[in-house]
Amino acid sequence: MRKGKRLLAVSLVAALGLTAAACGDEEDPATTGGDTGTTEGGTATTGATDTTGATDTTGATDTTGATDTTGATDTTGATDTTGVTDTTGVTDTSDSTASTGEITEGLKVAVLFDVTGRGDKSFNDAAAAGLDMAVEDFGVDPTESTPSGEGDRAARLDSAVSGGNELVIGVGFLWTDAVTAGSAASPDTNFAIVDSVVEAENVASLVFAEEQGSFLVGAAAALTSQTGKIGFVGGVPIDLIKKFEAGYIAGAQQINPDIEVISQYISEDPAIGFNDPTRGGELATAMYEDDADVVYHAAGASGAGVFEAAAAAGEPGEVWAIGVDSDQYQSVDANLQPYILTSMLKRVDVAVYETAKDTASGNFTPGIRVFDLSVDGVGYSTSGGFVDDIAPELDDLKQQIIDGEIEVPTVPES
């Protein structure tokens, strides 16, 4: 009887701990990264301990064990990486003869993905495409690694360094702390980080002018909208994603100053925000129900739900969705393609490729490198041909941004 109660208590604490962990993350996305460097327990632990108090903590920590498991992906993640390496390895040997003079073949490059890893059809896949291109063009020897949560980032970075990689690329701002610590510990290895700035002698910070690309798709949305109301679904309300929102709103207002833009975010927790198509779909559904007819998402894998919501909300040509990071028209199911107006391209592939190429030719340059409209680091896609008729206007806006005639804000007005 008593034992039963104790077990029940543990189960209750576990449930509470999870709830606490789920809402414990909202303090600041920076703290999420903060735990990364220490490799101790990951964020969830902090969240859980906070709420459950001293004695219960054992139970609560257990829960985190379970939460972290989202990442039992570990093992399999590793397995599939090798799979990928194998295949690409084959292609590159055949191609290697065709490479150019001064670039050294066989540069060992490690790409550390963000949580979802390869297959998100968005951000991570763009990085993967850049790596694949580097493998093909100048025979890079690639290593891939996908973290299972916050707890194992530093360890994965360390193993990439000790694996003898000459260039280690962290894909995503959540790698900031791991790269900061790792670059200090291994001054002889070159590092790069996407979407974040790490100031060190051996780190190249690859950042994008997302607001500029978002400005163009915002203009496209306003030019396409019949209702004068458009929507934005963001993954997590952090500065990075707010750049997308700010540019989108500014671009839409450039075309139609009276346009109404509904902005919503999926979660405070990056592990959920970029990974919950159900919620992404519900947010978009609410917007379509509220008469918005174009919805732009900056929510990684959650965006799949936005596209489904568009298809459920109306006929092709009546309602639209706008993709992000990659040309998402190319990766969605055929029945969803008529709903993808355009995608905001963020050329993470170019950034990864260029950095690998520079390193292979001995020209690795540390410091901040901004990929903006002027170098085609951001842009919009034209697949499907839905923006062909407004392309001249968009290209005109693009030129004005490049020339500095239009200044695109990076923070949305509240």
Among 64, 325, 291, residue whose Cα is nearest residue 214:
325
Closest CA to 113 of 39, 173, 167: 173
CB of 135 to another protein, least distance (A): 18
Least distance (Å) from another protein to the CB of residue 19? Answer: 5
The distance of closest approach from Cβ of residue 267 to another protein in the complex, given in angstroms and rounded to an integer, is 6
Specify the residue for token string 């290895």. 189
Q: How far is the CB of 134 from another protein (least distance, A)?
A: 20
Residues 294 and 341: beta-carbon distance below 8 Å:
yes
Least gap, CB of 394 to another protein (angstroms): 28
Smallest distance from another protein to CB 50, Å: 12
Please answer whether residues 103 and 360 qualify as being in contact, where contact means their C-beta atoms are separated by less than 8 angstroms: yes
Strands of the sheet containing 367-371, edge to edge, are 141-145, 108-112, 167-171, 190-194, 203-208, 367-371
Strand 190-194 versus strand 340-346 pairing type = unpaired
Counted residue by residue, the chain has a size of: 414
Q: Which amino acid is at 358?
A: D
Q: Cβ 131 to another protein, closest distance in Å? A: 16
Nearer to another protein, 115 or 397 (CB): 115
Please, what's the b/e burial string for 309-319 (b: 16 or more CB within 10 A of its CB; e: otherwise)?
bbbebeeeeeb
Tell me how far, at minimum, the Cβ of 37 lies from another protein, in Å.
Answer: 24
Q: Which is nearer to another protein, 35 or 276 (CB)?
A: 276
| Shortest distance (Å) from residue 20 CB to another protein | 8
Is residue 156 within 8 Å of residue 179, measured between CB atoms? no
Q: Could you give the residue ranges of the DSSP H alpha helices within 141-255?
A: 153-162, 176-185, 210-224, 239-255
- Our CB check for another protein shows the closer of 177 and 276 to be 276
DSSP 259: -
Closest listed residue to residue 203, CA positions, set 368, 38, 371? 368
Name which of 147, 85, 84 is nearest 113 in CA terms: 147
Nearer to another protein, 67 or 165 (CB): 67
Specify which residues 379 forms β-bridges with.
345
222 by Cβ neighbours in 10 Å (0-12 / 13-18 / 19+) ranks as buried
